Amino acid sequence: MSAIRFEDVWKEYGDHIVLERITMEVEPRAFIALVGPSGCGKTTLLRMLLGEEQPSRGKILVDGKVLPGEPDADRGVVFQRYSVFPHLTVLQNVMLGRELRDAKLTARLFGAARRAARDEAMTLLAEVGLAGQESKYPSALSGGMQQRLALAQAIMRGPKILLLDEPFGALDPGIRADIHLLMKRLWNETRLTVVMVTHDLSEAFGLATRVIALERQRNRPEERERYGATVSRDLEIFPRRTANAGPAGHSAPIGTTRSGKEHQPGRPGALVLKEQS
């Protein structure tokens, strides 16, 4: 649950400008979908939010403070691949965040602390639909289950912001629909601000509270290098989606979903964008 502010952010690699003039404000609890053609810098933007890369100019503020220059526990992430650790079982993957937090030296928990972490992890696993899979290794899980695990693992650590880099891009449509439901529920029940990169517009409009399109304004070959992509559209989803979890959001009953406001068609602006891409 954090507000994010981009203040005239640029990203350049040598002479090559990837992103320019990114200025925007993300309210706490928002679910932002970043869309745009391949190579428009949406993943670069996410990496800067993550702290993996630094903006060349401008700054990114989270809750009024400049983002630290490296990833930390405030910002969870789920990548399209390699998000979970192959050498840990499902349960160990989820417990890892807790062990890293509470055991600085050994990074392992024992006794009562371990049982508590284990119970919490088991609850979370049941919530994301992975009950009964605890002792499997990730390679024995399907792609959809691996991403569920990645979500559980990230949420276990209690980040303020969750960053998703095309997390469901490699999944079958049916599995993707299921995991979309889960994602909505998690967003509702936890107190997260979510930023998701996707190239699937229906996913963007189906999940997000706000869809932000990045695009290069100039695309002639001789201009490509020197003009980066910037925010070309900023669409609030209407009717407005709001998360219904209050301050006690984490303890919201399992399985509840928001009623009435699910997946409404977007406003006309959304349709225009759809036709363009």
Partner 1 sequence: MRLVNIRPGRQVRFYLLALPFLLVAIAYFLGSSARLAQNPNDKLLPALPSMVQSVKQMAFEVDPRTGNYLMLSDTVASLGRLGSALAISTVAALVLGIVIGLLPGANALLGPFVSVTSMVPPLALLPILFIVMGLGENSKVALIVIGTLPCMIRDLAMKVQELPREQIIKAQTLGASTWQIALRVAAPQTLPRLIDVLRLQLGPAWLFLIAAEAIASDSGLGYRIFLVRRYLAMDVIIPYVVWITLLAFTVDFGLRVLQRRLFPWFASVRAE
Contacts to partner 1 by CB under 8 A: 50, 52, 70-73, 75-77, 79, 81-87, 96-97, 99-101, 104-107, 137, 139-140, 153-154, 157, 159
What's the rounded Cα separation, in Å, for the pair 6 and 88? Answer: 36
Residue 80 or 198 with smaller CB distance to partner 1: 80
Cβ 67 to partner 1 shortest distance, Å? 13
For residue 196, the Cα-to-chain-centroid distance in whole angstroms is 4
Cβ 83 to partner 1 shortest distance, Å? 6
Cβ 164 to partner 1 shortest distance, Å? 12
Residues contacting residue 48 through CB under 8 Å, at least 6 positions apart = 9, 11, 54, 55, 60, 67
Cβ 243 to partner 1 shortest distance, Å? 21
Sheet containing strand 193-197, edge to edge, reads 65-66, 57-62, 4-13, 16-26, 229-236, 210-216, 31-35, 193-197, 161-165, 75-78
Cβ 152 to partner 1 shortest distance, Å? 12
Residue 12 or 99 with smaller CB distance to partner 1: 99
Residue 137 or 227 with smaller CB distance to partner 1: 137
Q: How many CA atoms lie within 13 A of 120 on its CB side?
A: 21
Residue 107 or 181 with smaller CB distance to partner 1: 107
Residue 86 or 239 with smaller CB distance to partner 1: 86
Going by C-alpha positions, the residue among 274, 155, 144, 125 that lies closest to residue 206 is 274
